[in-house]
Amino acid sequence: MATRIPLIAGNWKMFKTGPEAADAARSLKSLLAGVSGVDVMIAPPFTALATVGDVLKDASIAVGAQNLHWESQGAFTGEIAPGMVKAAGCRHAIIGHSERRQLFGETDGDVNRKVQAALAVGLIPVLCIGETEAEREAAQTFSVLDKQVRLGLEGVSLQNPGDLVVAYEPLWAIGTGKTATREQAQEAHAYIRGLLRELYGETMADAMRILYGGSVKPDNIAALIGMDDIDGALVGGASLEPETFARIVKLGD
């Protein structure tokens, strides 16, 4: 098995003004000073990207966007281009989050275009996939993941395993307080890695990071990240409080 450095990513969603985000970033920078053996990324709202990027410019904490459009520019009112978030200091872009798919109607085709657009400007896509509770109960988890991975990555070529991160987020565990058991999560992650092996070969896939997302907290991160194919976490609500997020990061190394 390839050695993979864990990645703990915080998705701040639609929380924090620019000043609030800057304060949180400064706190996180202090709390995580000297921490090694784990990579960290936070994704503030668009309005705070440049501010947070400035706060963290000399820190080892990366900044990510929560979404982007697949066009480089144009008459797309309310959207933001890949180059814009890159210029604001982003290294990553979360793509296909379940809230984007469920609330805003994003399709696998949209996700695919966004992945390709992110890669084209040198951003690392964090491709989010996952099943609903109804799909899990109907034993459709693997078929859903198969479709989302294959369509989301159709025509996507990668030069290095670090060019893409996949995040498995079962929809029934996001913001619900429910968490997949570590065995359920590992089973899904192992299946996803098998799909990546088919698409990119064993060497590349075994070095790619697959994160778990869904009610991750300090009391469950260690058990999750201890599984063979879980390489970190995409943290939602628990990432909003710097002290809590720092605890997750320190337990995830």
In-domain check, residue 133: yes
Question: pLDDT by residue for the chain (253 residues), tens digit each?
Answer: 468 999 999 999 999 999 999 999 999 999 999 999 999 999 999 999 999 999 999 999 999 999 999 999 999 999 999 999 999 999 999 999 999 999 999 999 999 999 999 999 999 999 999 999 999 999 999 999 999 999 999 999 999 999 999 999 999 887 777 778 999 999 999 999 999 999 999 999 999 999 999 889 999 999 999 999 999 999 999 999 999 999 999 987 7
In-domain check, residue 113: yes
Number of domains in the chain: 1
C-alpha to C-alpha distance for 118 and 112, rounded to whole angstroms: 10
Whether 183 is catalytic is no
Q: Is 105 left (phi over 0), alpha (psi -120 to 50) or beta?
A: left
Active-site residue identified among 69, 135, 169, 189: 169
Active-site residue identified among 92, 97, 106, 131: 97
- Structural domain harbouring 24: 7-30+38-232
List the end-to-end C-alpha distance of the chain, in Å, as a whole number: 17
In-domain check, residue 60: yes
The CATH number that applies at residue 184 is: 3.20.20.70
C-alpha to C-alpha distance for 211 and 217, rounded to whole angstroms: 14
In-domain check, residue 128: yes
C-alpha to C-alpha distance for 76 and 116, rounded to whole angstroms: 18
In-domain check, residue 237: no
Whether 137 is catalytic is no
In-domain check, residue 250: no
pTM (whole model) above 0.85: yes
In-domain check, residue 167: yes
C-alpha separations of 14 from 18, 44, 45, 113 in Å? 12, 8, 6, 23
In-domain check, residue 79: yes
